[in-house]
Amino acid sequence: MASRFLQYAVLLQKYRTPLLITSCGGVFAANMLYHVFPDVSFRQLYQAWFKGEPVTLSEKLEDVFQQVLKDYGISSSKNFSAFASFGFHPVGAGLPWLFTGAQIGVPANFNSTSDDPSGITNRTIFINGKVVDWTSDTGSALQEALVFSPEAQKFAIAREVARLQSGGPVLSAAVAPVCLGGVWVYSVLMKQVFGLHTGPPLLRGGVNILALGLGAVSYFLTLDAVSHWIDYKSDRGAAGVSRGYAKGGIEFYDKILSRNKTLRSLMGQKGQEMYAPSGNLFPANILQLKHTPYTSRRKEILTMLRKEKA
Protein backbone atom coordinates (compact mmCIF):
# COMPACT_ATOMS: atom_id res chain seq x y z
CA MET A 1 0.00 0.00 0.00
CA ALA A 2 2.80 2.39 0.95
CA SER A 3 4.72 1.58 -2.22
CA ARG A 4 1.64 2.26 -4.34
CA PHE A 5 1.16 5.59 -2.60
CA LEU A 6 4.78 6.50 -3.32
CA GLN A 7 4.30 5.56 -6.98
CA TYR A 8 1.32 7.89 -7.21
CA ALA A 9 3.28 10.62 -5.47
CA VAL A 10 6.17 10.22 -7.93
CA LEU A 11 3.78 10.35 -10.89
CA LEU A 12 2.08 13.47 -9.54
CA GLN A 13 5.43 15.12 -8.97
CA LYS A 14 6.64 14.20 -12.46
CA TYR A 15 3.52 15.35 -14.32
CA ARG A 16 2.34 18.07 -11.96
CA THR A 17 2.48 20.88 -14.54
CA PRO A 18 0.34 19.17 -17.22
CA LEU A 19 -1.99 17.87 -14.50
CA LEU A 20 -2.36 21.36 -13.08
CA ILE A 21 -3.06 22.87 -16.51
CA THR A 22 -5.58 20.12 -17.30
CA SER A 23 -7.31 20.50 -13.94
CA CYS A 24 -7.58 24.27 -14.21
CA GLY A 25 -8.82 24.00 -17.78
CA GLY A 26 -11.38 21.39 -16.78
CA VAL A 27 -12.72 23.51 -13.92
CA PHE A 28 -12.97 26.56 -16.19
CA ALA A 29 -14.75 24.54 -18.90
CA ALA A 30 -17.20 23.11 -16.36
CA ASN A 31 -18.03 26.60 -15.06
CA MET A 32 -18.48 27.94 -18.59
CA LEU A 33 -20.65 25.08 -19.85
CA TYR A 34 -23.70 26.79 -18.37
CA HIS A 35 -23.01 29.89 -20.48
CA VAL A 36 -21.72 28.26 -23.66
CA PHE A 37 -24.97 26.34 -24.15
CA PRO A 38 -27.61 28.48 -22.40
CA ASP A 39 -30.43 26.93 -24.44
CA VAL A 40 -29.96 23.47 -22.98
CA SER A 41 -28.95 24.47 -19.48
CA PHE A 42 -29.95 27.92 -18.29
CA ARG A 43 -33.17 28.29 -20.27
CA GLN A 44 -34.45 24.86 -19.29
CA LEU A 45 -33.87 25.78 -15.65
CA TYR A 46 -35.59 29.18 -15.68
CA GLN A 47 -38.26 28.75 -18.36
CA ALA A 48 -41.77 29.54 -17.10
CA TRP A 49 -44.35 26.83 -17.72
CA PHE A 50 -48.13 26.77 -17.68
CA LYS A 51 -50.18 23.58 -17.93
CA GLY A 52 -47.21 21.64 -19.23
CA GLU A 53 -46.36 24.16 -21.95
CA PRO A 54 -43.57 26.77 -21.98
CA VAL A 55 -44.91 30.28 -21.54
CA THR A 56 -44.30 32.61 -24.48
CA LEU A 57 -42.89 36.05 -23.81
CA SER A 58 -45.57 38.67 -24.33
CA GLU A 59 -45.32 41.06 -27.25
CA LYS A 60 -45.17 43.96 -24.80
CA LEU A 61 -42.11 42.57 -23.01
CA GLU A 62 -40.44 41.61 -26.28
CA ASP A 63 -40.78 45.24 -27.39
CA VAL A 64 -39.31 46.43 -24.08
CA PHE A 65 -36.42 44.00 -24.48
CA GLN A 66 -35.66 45.17 -28.01
CA GLN A 67 -35.83 48.80 -26.88
CA VAL A 68 -33.30 48.09 -24.12
CA LEU A 69 -30.91 46.51 -26.63
CA LYS A 70 -31.28 49.55 -28.87
CA ASP A 71 -30.78 52.00 -26.00
CA TYR A 72 -27.73 50.11 -24.77
CA GLY A 73 -26.17 50.26 -28.22
CA ILE A 74 -26.24 46.57 -29.13
CA SER A 75 -25.57 46.56 -32.87
CA SER A 76 -27.02 43.11 -33.54
CA SER A 77 -29.99 41.93 -31.52
CA LYS A 78 -29.40 38.41 -32.86
CA ASN A 79 -26.79 37.93 -30.14
CA PHE A 80 -29.43 38.34 -27.43
CA SER A 81 -32.78 36.64 -27.03
CA ALA A 82 -35.43 36.82 -24.33
CA PHE A 83 -37.85 34.28 -22.93
CA ALA A 84 -40.52 34.16 -20.23
CA SER A 85 -38.96 33.09 -16.95
CA PHE A 86 -40.28 32.36 -13.49
CA GLY A 87 -39.22 34.49 -10.54
CA PHE A 88 -39.63 38.21 -10.04
CA HIS A 89 -36.65 39.85 -11.74
CA PRO A 90 -34.65 39.21 -14.93
CA VAL A 91 -31.89 36.61 -15.07
CA GLY A 92 -29.35 36.03 -17.80
CA ALA A 93 -26.65 33.67 -19.05
CA GLY A 94 -24.53 33.16 -22.13
CA LEU A 95 -21.89 34.98 -24.12
CA PRO A 96 -23.11 37.38 -26.84
CA TRP A 97 -20.04 36.88 -29.01
CA LEU A 98 -20.52 33.11 -29.28
CA PHE A 99 -22.78 31.50 -31.88
CA THR A 100 -25.13 30.35 -29.10
CA GLY A 101 -25.59 33.95 -27.96
CA ALA A 102 -27.00 35.13 -24.65
CA GLN A 103 -30.38 34.41 -23.09
CA ILE A 104 -32.25 36.72 -20.73
CA GLY A 105 -35.31 35.59 -18.82
CA VAL A 106 -37.99 38.22 -18.21
CA PRO A 107 -40.54 37.42 -15.45
CA ALA A 108 -44.31 37.56 -15.82
CA ASN A 109 -44.74 40.29 -13.21
CA PHE A 110 -43.13 42.71 -15.68
CA ASN A 111 -46.44 42.52 -17.56
CA SER A 112 -48.18 44.02 -14.54
CA THR A 113 -48.94 47.66 -13.87
CA SER A 114 -50.45 49.46 -10.91
CA ASP A 115 -53.78 49.51 -12.74
CA ASP A 116 -53.56 45.90 -13.89
CA PRO A 117 -51.64 43.62 -11.48
CA SER A 118 -53.02 40.44 -13.06
CA GLY A 119 -49.53 39.18 -13.90
CA ILE A 120 -49.00 38.90 -10.14
CA THR A 121 -52.38 38.29 -8.57
CA ASN A 122 -53.25 35.45 -10.94
CA ARG A 123 -50.27 33.50 -9.61
CA THR A 124 -50.46 31.25 -6.58
CA ILE A 125 -47.51 31.77 -4.26
CA PHE A 126 -46.93 29.57 -1.24
CA ILE A 127 -44.94 30.89 1.71
CA ASN A 128 -44.48 28.60 4.71
CA GLY A 129 -47.04 26.27 3.19
CA LYS A 130 -49.72 28.97 2.97
CA VAL A 131 -51.08 30.74 -0.10
CA VAL A 132 -50.36 34.47 -0.13
CA ASP A 133 -53.58 36.45 0.23
CA TRP A 134 -53.16 39.37 -2.14
CA THR A 135 -55.98 41.26 -0.39
CA SER A 136 -54.22 41.24 3.00
CA ASP A 137 -51.90 44.04 4.14
CA THR A 138 -48.74 41.98 3.63
CA GLY A 139 -50.08 40.59 0.36
CA SER A 140 -50.79 44.11 -0.90
CA ALA A 141 -47.31 45.22 0.18
CA LEU A 142 -45.75 42.30 -1.67
CA GLN A 143 -47.84 43.04 -4.75
CA GLU A 144 -46.76 46.68 -4.69
CA ALA A 145 -43.11 45.63 -4.44
CA LEU A 146 -43.47 43.40 -7.51
CA VAL A 147 -44.90 46.07 -9.82
CA PHE A 148 -42.19 48.02 -11.64
CA SER A 149 -42.41 51.12 -13.78
CA PRO A 150 -41.23 50.87 -17.42
CA GLU A 151 -37.99 52.63 -16.44
CA ALA A 152 -37.29 50.15 -13.64
CA GLN A 153 -38.04 47.25 -15.97
CA LYS A 154 -35.64 48.60 -18.57
CA PHE A 155 -32.91 49.05 -15.97
CA ALA A 156 -33.38 45.50 -14.68
CA ILE A 157 -33.04 44.07 -18.18
CA ALA A 158 -30.18 46.42 -19.08
CA ARG A 159 -28.08 45.35 -16.10
CA GLU A 160 -28.24 41.75 -17.35
CA VAL A 161 -27.30 42.91 -20.85
CA ALA A 162 -24.39 44.88 -19.38
CA ARG A 163 -23.18 41.92 -17.31
CA LEU A 164 -23.21 39.50 -20.23
CA GLN A 165 -21.86 42.00 -22.76
CA SER A 166 -18.87 42.81 -20.53
CA GLY A 167 -17.93 39.14 -20.11
CA GLY A 168 -19.03 38.80 -16.50
CA PRO A 169 -19.55 35.02 -16.77
CA VAL A 170 -15.97 34.55 -18.01
CA LEU A 171 -14.53 36.48 -15.07
CA SER A 172 -16.63 34.52 -12.58
CA ALA A 173 -15.68 31.21 -14.18
CA ALA A 174 -11.98 32.09 -14.05
CA VAL A 175 -11.90 32.47 -10.26
CA ALA A 176 -11.93 28.75 -9.43
CA PRO A 177 -9.10 27.69 -11.80
CA VAL A 178 -6.96 30.67 -10.74
CA CYS A 179 -7.38 29.72 -7.08
CA LEU A 180 -6.69 26.07 -7.93
CA GLY A 181 -3.42 27.18 -9.49
CA GLY A 182 -2.87 29.27 -6.38
CA VAL A 183 -2.94 26.11 -4.25
CA TRP A 184 0.08 24.82 -6.17
CA VAL A 185 1.85 28.18 -5.80
CA TYR A 186 1.15 28.25 -2.05
CA SER A 187 2.47 24.72 -1.70
CA VAL A 188 5.68 25.36 -3.65
CA LEU A 189 6.42 28.64 -1.86
CA MET A 190 5.87 27.24 1.63
CA LYS A 191 8.03 24.20 0.90
CA GLN A 192 10.70 26.50 -0.49
CA VAL A 193 10.58 28.82 2.52
CA PHE A 194 10.72 26.01 5.08
CA GLY A 195 13.08 23.80 3.06
CA LEU A 196 10.64 20.90 2.86
CA HIS A 197 11.10 19.84 -0.77
CA THR A 198 13.20 16.93 0.44
CA GLY A 199 11.71 16.81 3.93
CA PRO A 200 9.58 14.10 5.57
CA PRO A 201 6.45 13.11 3.60
CA LEU A 202 4.28 13.84 6.64
CA LEU A 203 5.42 17.46 6.79
CA ARG A 204 5.04 17.90 3.04
CA GLY A 205 1.53 16.50 3.30
CA GLY A 206 0.74 18.97 6.08
CA VAL A 207 1.96 21.82 3.90
CA ASN A 208 -0.25 20.60 1.05
CA ILE A 209 -3.28 20.54 3.34
CA LEU A 210 -2.48 24.05 4.53
CA ALA A 211 -2.14 25.16 0.90
CA LEU A 212 -5.57 23.68 0.15
CA GLY A 213 -7.04 25.62 3.06
CA LEU A 214 -5.47 28.85 1.86
CA GLY A 215 -6.75 28.13 -1.64
CA ALA A 216 -10.30 27.62 -0.34
CA VAL A 217 -10.21 30.89 1.61
CA SER A 218 -8.78 32.67 -1.43
CA TYR A 219 -11.56 31.24 -3.59
CA PHE A 220 -14.37 32.51 -1.37
CA LEU A 221 -12.86 35.96 -0.91
CA THR A 222 -11.91 36.35 -4.58
CA LEU A 223 -15.28 35.12 -5.82
CA ASP A 224 -17.02 37.67 -3.61
CA ALA A 225 -14.74 40.47 -4.78
CA VAL A 226 -15.20 39.59 -8.46
CA SER A 227 -18.97 39.16 -8.09
CA HIS A 228 -19.31 42.52 -6.39
CA TRP A 229 -17.17 44.23 -9.02
CA ILE A 230 -19.28 42.71 -11.81
CA ASP A 231 -22.52 43.72 -10.08
CA TYR A 232 -21.44 47.32 -9.58
CA LYS A 233 -20.06 47.53 -13.12
CA SER A 234 -23.32 46.15 -14.55
CA ASP A 235 -25.35 48.64 -12.53
CA ARG A 236 -23.18 51.53 -13.72
CA GLY A 237 -23.49 50.33 -17.31
CA ALA A 238 -27.28 50.12 -17.11
CA ALA A 239 -27.69 53.38 -15.19
CA GLY A 240 -25.33 55.12 -17.61
CA VAL A 241 -27.68 54.59 -20.55
CA SER A 242 -29.76 57.60 -19.54
CA ARG A 243 -31.03 59.48 -16.53
CA GLY A 244 -34.33 57.63 -16.88
CA TYR A 245 -32.54 54.29 -16.58
CA ALA A 246 -30.68 55.52 -13.49
CA LYS A 247 -33.92 56.59 -11.81
CA GLY A 248 -35.38 53.24 -12.79
CA GLY A 249 -32.43 51.57 -11.08
CA ILE A 250 -33.14 53.36 -7.81
CA GLU A 251 -36.79 52.30 -8.01
CA PHE A 252 -35.78 48.74 -8.87
CA TYR A 253 -33.63 48.35 -5.77
CA ASP A 254 -36.18 50.16 -3.60
CA LYS A 255 -38.75 47.60 -4.69
CA ILE A 256 -36.39 44.66 -4.09
CA LEU A 257 -35.63 45.92 -0.58
CA SER A 258 -39.34 46.40 0.08
CA ARG A 259 -40.10 42.91 -1.24
CA ASN A 260 -37.45 41.33 0.98
CA LYS A 261 -38.74 43.17 4.06
CA THR A 262 -42.23 41.86 3.33
CA LEU A 263 -40.93 38.33 2.78
CA ARG A 264 -39.02 38.58 6.05
CA SER A 265 -42.33 39.22 7.76
CA LEU A 266 -44.26 36.55 5.87
CA MET A 267 -41.64 33.81 6.28
CA GLY A 268 -41.31 34.12 10.04
CA GLN A 269 -38.15 32.63 11.55
CA LYS A 270 -36.78 31.53 8.19
CA GLY A 271 -37.29 35.02 6.81
CA GLN A 272 -35.37 36.54 9.71
CA GLU A 273 -32.50 34.16 9.01
CA MET A 274 -32.48 34.96 5.29
CA TYR A 275 -33.20 38.69 5.15
CA ALA A 276 -31.78 41.56 7.17
CA PRO A 277 -34.17 44.22 8.52
CA SER A 278 -32.86 46.53 5.78
CA GLY A 279 -33.96 44.09 3.06
CA ASN A 280 -30.46 42.90 2.19
CA LEU A 281 -29.66 39.20 2.14
CA PHE A 282 -27.65 37.86 5.04
CA PRO A 283 -24.19 36.42 4.20
CA ALA A 284 -24.11 32.79 3.12
CA ASN A 285 -21.36 32.10 5.66
CA ILE A 286 -18.55 33.80 7.55
CA LEU A 287 -16.24 33.73 4.51
CA GLN A 288 -18.74 34.43 1.77
CA LEU A 289 -21.01 37.46 1.48
CA LYS A 290 -22.35 35.97 -1.77
CA HIS A 291 -24.78 38.77 -2.61
CA THR A 292 -23.80 42.38 -3.19
CA PRO A 293 -25.88 44.45 -0.73
CA TYR A 294 -28.87 45.98 -2.49
CA THR A 295 -28.54 49.10 -0.35
CA SER A 296 -24.99 49.59 -1.66
CA ARG A 297 -26.07 49.07 -5.26
CA ARG A 298 -28.85 51.63 -4.83
CA LYS A 299 -26.41 54.08 -3.23
CA GLU A 300 -23.98 53.65 -6.13
CA ILE A 301 -26.64 54.69 -8.65
CA LEU A 302 -27.79 57.55 -6.45
CA THR A 303 -24.20 58.81 -6.32
CA MET A 304 -24.05 58.68 -10.13
CA LEU A 305 -27.19 60.81 -10.38
CA ARG A 306 -25.88 63.37 -7.90
CA LYS A 307 -22.58 63.67 -9.76
CA GLU A 308 -24.44 64.10 -13.03
CA LYS A 309 -26.61 66.83 -11.53
CA ALA A 310 -23.56 68.59 -10.08
Residue 98 counted as domain residue:
yes
Q: Tell me the whole-structure pTM to 2 decimals.
A: 0.88
Residue 7 counted as domain residue:
no
First to last CA, the chain: 73
Residue 79 counted as domain residue:
yes
Residue 4 counted as domain residue:
no
Residue 252 counted as domain residue:
yes
Residue 1 counted as domain residue:
no
Q: What is the mean pLDDT of residues 246-250?
A: 95
297 neighbors 280 (Cβ within 8 angstroms): no
Q: What digits encode the pLDDT tens for the residues 51-66?
A: 888 889 999 999 999 9
Rounded CA separation 231/256 (Å): 15
The number of domains in the chain is 1
Q: Please check the confidence at residue 297 and state whether its pLDDT lies above 90.
A: yes
Q: What is the mean pLDDT of residues 36-55?
A: 88
95 neighbors 164 (Cβ within 8 angstroms): yes
Query: In terms of residue numbers, what domain contains 201?
Result: 13-309
Q: Burial level of 150, CB count in 10 A (0-12/13-18/19+)?
A: middle
Residue 167 counted as domain residue:
yes
Q: Would you tell me how many other CB atoms lie within 10 Å of the CB of residue 94?
A: 25
Q: What digits encode the pLDDT tens for the residues 106-155?
A: 998 888 887 777 777 677 778 877 888 888 888 888 889 888 999 999 99
Q: Would you tell me how many other CB atoms lie within 10 Å of the CB of residue 32?
A: 17
Residue 45 counted as domain residue:
yes
